[in-house]
């Protein structure tokens, strides 16, 4: 459970309202019950001024009772209002030492958080603990309400408008973010989390996020342990149409080199023992190349293998509200498909490739999927068709495929 600087302030105010409220409720309730019971009818006689049908009843009432009530109730409410307005000043106006400003977007159906460092997260907000954080909240579609019950804070996300909400998470912890304004069929699934972590951990996490930004460039990464001896030749299989990154680790006790033959002809002349090196090159078309470890002299060291780059079918897929638009209608079974996906819409989407789409999200058969893509972002996805027939492409964000983000490809 999380906590924030606003939590005790709102809790204290609530306690004040609650105490006064419960005392007043009980007093008035017992006064009501007592009055009714004390003056219950016994016998048949009637008060002198008992009402009669058709008669205008005589006036009753004492001004001092009436004005006394007004003054007492007014004084209580005045006191409560002072508490409210002073707490409100604290909640409404961010302090001067805001350390992080995050753009938050509530969308159908989820939350996106855009960090000033230039990356986004979805559903998960991470902030450094014990620092003032300011959220600028809006929505590209309908109204939502960003609500963190544990922090006692909430504000609406309204299209065309930016609202501000600040908080200071006191101490590490995780709290739940909920949407508290009906926004469509996925309203109940607009759940997110807010994690307050120590500053150092936060900085490390930011670096990690920056290193793994999704892009539409197709990059395949392989790890290769280079040794001196290699009794069985190795086999690597890749898909054409992008870049191949080999991460080489020298596991031997002596210095080794590495060489990849034609058509690539790239090499790393020497790696110290237990060190690593990257070998990056592009692989636009199909090819077969051999690789081997080399001695310091350049001669073959014994470790070897083959890299097979398979021809691929390139299909670009554009995601928009509310359509999934692939550049082809059919793909062949005998080749891997390279989906180059871009989010050309205004809100977050992802692309799922699978053999079966179902109205029930739990019954959908997903073979491959991209991460959540913010507007303008893209991702590449290599996919090996499994059988002839219909392949489904859809966005799996709640409600999106129902709104039209669902299409099919034929595998022939």
Partner 1 sequence: MDWRRWLTTTNHKDIGILYLVTSLVFFVIGGVLALIFRTQLAQPESTLVEPGLYNQLVTMHGAVMALFFLSPIAFGFANYLVPLQIGASDLAFPRINALSYWTFVLGGLVAASGFALGGAADVGWTFYSPLTNKQYSPGLGVDLAGIGLVLLTVSVVVSTINFFATILAHRRPGLRLYDMPMFTWSIVFTIAIMLAAFPALGGGLLMLVADRHFGTHFFSAQVEGGLVWTHIFWFFGHPEVYVFLHPALGATMEIVPAFSRRPLYGKRYILWSLAIATVLSFIVWVHHMFTTGTDERMREFMSLTTEAISIPFSLIFLCLIATLWRGKVHFRTPMNMALSAMSLFLLGGVTGVFLSSLALDPNFRGTYWVVAHFHFTLVGGTMLMLMAGLYYWYPKFTGRMYNERLGNIHVVFSVIGFLMTFLTMFFISDMPRRIYTYDAASGWGPLNLVVTVGAFVFGAAQALMLFNLLWSLKHGAPAPEDPWRGPGHEWMSSPAPTPAPAPGPAPIAADVAGK
Site for partner 1 in 84-143 (CB under 8 A): 84-85, 87-88, 91-92, 108, 141-143
In the block, tokens 């893509």 appear at 373
Minimum distance of partner 1 from residue 200's CB (angstroms): 30
Minimum distance of partner 1 from residue 103's CB (angstroms): 15
Return the range that interacts with Cu ion (CB under 5 A); candidates 190-198, 223-231, 334-342, 361-369: 190-198
Using rule CB under 5 A, residue 324 touches Cu ion: no
Nearer to Cu ion, 144 or 369 (CB): 144
Q: Which of 4, 5, 13, 374 binds partner 1 (CB under 8 A)?
A: 13
35 contact choice in partner 1, Cu ion, none (CB below 5 to 8 Å, kind-dependent): partner 1
Nearer to Cu ion, 142 or 411 (CB): 142
**Residues 235 and 306: beta-carbon distance below 8 Å:** yes
Using rule CB under 8 A, residue 389 touches partner 1: no
Counting Cα atoms < 13 Å in the Cβ hemisphere of 228 gives 9
Using rule CB under 5 A, residue 104 touches Cu ion: no
Minimum distance of Cu ion from residue 321's CB (angstroms): 7
Minimum distance of partner 1 from residue 372's CB (angstroms): 21
Q: Which of residues 6-25 bind Cu ion (CB under 5 A)?
A: none
Q: Which of 3, 181, 350, 372 binds partner 1 (CB under 8 A)?
A: 181
Q: Among 254, 257, 255, which residue's Cα sits nearest to residue 224? A: 257
Q: Per-residue string for binding with Cu ion, 122-151, x by CB under 5 A?
A: ----------------------x-------
**Residues 147 and 178: beta-carbon distance below 8 Å:** yes
Report which secondary-structure segment, H or E, holds 37.
Answer: helix 6-38
Q: b/e string for 331-347 if b means 16 or more Cβ within 10 A?
A: beeebbbbbbbbbbbeb
Q: What's the full length of the chain, in residues?
A: 412
349 contact choice in partner 1, Cu ion, none (CB below 5 to 8 Å, kind-dependent): Cu ion
Q: b/e string for 175-186 if b means 16 or more Cβ within 10 A?
A: bebbbebebbeb
Distance in angstroms (rounded) separating the CA atoms of residues 288 and 197: 48
149 contact choice in partner 1, Cu ion, none (CB below 5 to 8 Å, kind-dependent): partner 1
Minimum distance of partner 1 from residue 169's CB (angstroms): 16
Using rule CB under 8 A, residue 178 touches partner 1: yes
Q: b/e string for 19-45 if b means 16 or more Cβ within 10 A?
A: eeeeeeeeeeeeeeeeeeeeeeeeeee
Using rule CB under 5 A, residue 397 touches Cu ion: yes
Using rule CB under 5 A, residue 379 touches Cu ion: no
**Residues 400 and 349: beta-carbon distance below 8 Å:** yes
Distance in angstroms (rounded) separating the CA atoms of residues 330 and 326: 10
In the block, tokens 């492409």 appear at 393
Q: Which of residues 61-80 bind partner 1 (CB under 8 A)?
A: 61, 65-66, 69-70, 73-74, 77, 80
């Amino acid at each position: 459970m999380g906590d924030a600087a606003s939590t005790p302030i709102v809790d204290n105010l609530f306690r004040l309202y609650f105490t006064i409220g419960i005392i007043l409720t009980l007093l008035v309730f017992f006064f009501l019950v007592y009055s009714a019971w004390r003056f219950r009818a016994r016998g048949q006689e009637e008060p002198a001024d008992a009402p009669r049908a058709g008669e205008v009843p005589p006036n009753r009432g004492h001004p001092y009772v009436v004005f006394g009530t007004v003054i007492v109730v007014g004084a209580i409410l005045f006191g409560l209002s002072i508490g409210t307005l002073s707490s409100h000043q604290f909640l409404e106006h961010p302090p001067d030492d805001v350390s992080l400003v995050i753009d938050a977007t509530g969308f159908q159906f989820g939350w996106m958080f855009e960090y000033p460092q230039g990356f986004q997260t979805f559903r998960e907000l991470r902030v450094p603990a014990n620092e003032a954080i300011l959220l600028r909240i809006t929505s590209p579609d309908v109204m939502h309400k960003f609500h963190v019950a544990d922090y006692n804070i909430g504000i609406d996300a309204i299209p065309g408008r930016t609202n501000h909400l600040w908080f200071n998470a006191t101490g590490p912890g995780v709290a739940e973010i909920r949407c508290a304004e009906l926004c469509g069929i996925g309203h109940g699934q607009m759940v997110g989390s807010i994690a307050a972590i120590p500053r150092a951990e936060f900085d490390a996490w930011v670096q990690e996020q920056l290193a793994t930004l999704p892009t539409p460039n197709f990059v395949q990464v392989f790890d290769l342990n280079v040794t001196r001896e290699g009794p069985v030749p190795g086999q690597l299989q890749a898909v054409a149409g992008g870049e191949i990154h080999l991460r080489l680790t020298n596991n031997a006790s002596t210095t080794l080199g590495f060489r990849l033959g034609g058509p690539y002809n790239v090499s790393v002349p020497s790696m110290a023992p237990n060190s690593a090196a990257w070998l990056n090159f592009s692989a636009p078309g199909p090819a077969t190349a051999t690789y081997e470890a080399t001695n310091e002299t350049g001669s073959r060291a014994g470790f070897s293998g083959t890299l097979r780059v398979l021809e691929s079918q390139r299909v670009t897929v554009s995601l928009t509200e509310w359509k999934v638009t692939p550049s082809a209608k059919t793909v062949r079974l005998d080749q891997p498909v390279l989906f180059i996906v871009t989010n050309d819409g205004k809100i977050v989407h992802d692309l799922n490739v699978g053999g079966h789409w179902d109205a029930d999200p739990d019954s959908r058969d997903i073979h491959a999927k991209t991460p959540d893509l913010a507007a303008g972002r893209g991702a590449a996805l290599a996919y090996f068709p499994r059988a002839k027939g219909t392949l489904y492409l859809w966005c799996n964000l709640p409600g999106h495929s129902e709104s039209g983000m669902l299409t099919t490809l034929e595998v022939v």
